[in-house]
Amino acid sequence: MSYVLMTLVALLCACAFYTLWRASQITRKLKPDGRFMVIDGVRLHYHFYPVALDNQDAPVLTFLHGASGNAYDTRLAFLGTLRGKYPLLFIDRPGLGFSERQRKGHVTPREQARVIAGLLKKLEVTNAVVVGHSLGGSVAAALGLVAPDRVKGLAFLAPVSHPWPGGVNWYYSLASMPLIGRLFCWTLTLPIAERLASCAITSVFSPDQPPENYLSDTRVPLLFRPEAFRANALTITRLKQAVTEQSKDYATLVQPTLIVTGTQDSVVWPSIHCEGLLTSLPDAELMVLDRAGHMPHHTHTQKIVQGLERLMCRVETQVEYDQRSVGRQRAMEHA
């Protein structure tokens, strides 16, 4: 028995040293190339792409990535097509990519939304159209709830928005545990994740194919670092309870909205999340992509861009209407 125990301890020690070495390598190799801003003690990393001076009043398309990812995912999908047409803001959610988080906070969609709302305020963004993919959809909805004065439109791409039957994968539950979770993240998750990453990417894109060099272009190894993996796990394990509560308020999201889903999405259930949003939101358009999987922003980019352009027109019309209404109200008050 002692031999087995000693072997196990030796194996865990070897994995810990490997994890420490590889995590430091990833940190040295993958350097941030965006900007940083500290919001409520949280250092957020983001990329902002403005437009020409004659179009600076255009709504700012603000992209929130899903679980197990970072802002390079949505940037890869949309930057080439949308740059110059609208101001673009790509944000690493707290704890992922190059963004940090406080040890005991910024886990739930609402907590993350408050930090992102602070970033919008610091950047003086008063007219944002927030685009959330997968888990980022729940954060987009939360952002619409906590900052309705800044969020003028919403787009949900294969979103998670409502409670679902069952739980989450066991390794997320294990990684989120107080003590054993840290041990798990600092020994086993990195070497295992490195070897399963390509298969995982293929699975999440199915039945579509991922872009060539997707793993390196989107800097997926940033997730393998122990603190990032744990932050991701904490958000995922607390997500169901979070959306159970916040979905009760979705009827107050009166902003123009676009909902995008693929008929072959095997990661989230469109019948729960997209149909739930369509039922709850007063001003929503549903776009169904035939035979698309969970990553439609990469595999059906042009169709989604067309939907976003329609959404931007709806938002601009609504903003103009609201401004006229405010003007009329002020005129009546001074009459």
Task: Provide the pairing of β-strand 42-49 with 128-133.
Answer: unpaired
AA letter at 90: F
Q: Which of 115, 116, 39, 104 is nearest to 234 (CA)?
A: 104
Structure tokens at 141: 């909805």
pLDDT tens per residue, range 20-39: 999 999 999 999 999 999 99
Q: What is the rounded CA–CA span in Å between residue 241 and residue 107?
A: 12
For the domain 33-165+243-318, what is the CATH code?
3.40.50.1820
Residues 171-220 have pLDDT tens digits of 999 999 999 999 999 999 999 999 999 999 999 999 999 999 999 999 99
Order of strands, sheet of 60-64, starting from the edge strand that comes earlier in the sequence: 35-39, 42-49, 88-91, 60-64, 128-133, 151-157, 257-262, 284-289
Q: Other C-beta atoms within 10 Å of 194: how many? A: 15
Domain residue spans of the chain: 33-165+243-318
Q: Model pTM?
A: 0.94
Could you read off the pLDDT of 291-327 as tens digits, one per residue?
A: 999 999 999 999 999 999 999 999 998 877 666 655 5
Cα-Cα-Cα-Cα dihedral of 29, 33, 99, 213, to 10°? Answer: -60
* Pair of tokens at residue 236: 């995922």
The set of residues, in sequence order, having a beta carbon less than 8 Å from that of 197 and lying 6+ positions away, is 215, 220, 221, 224
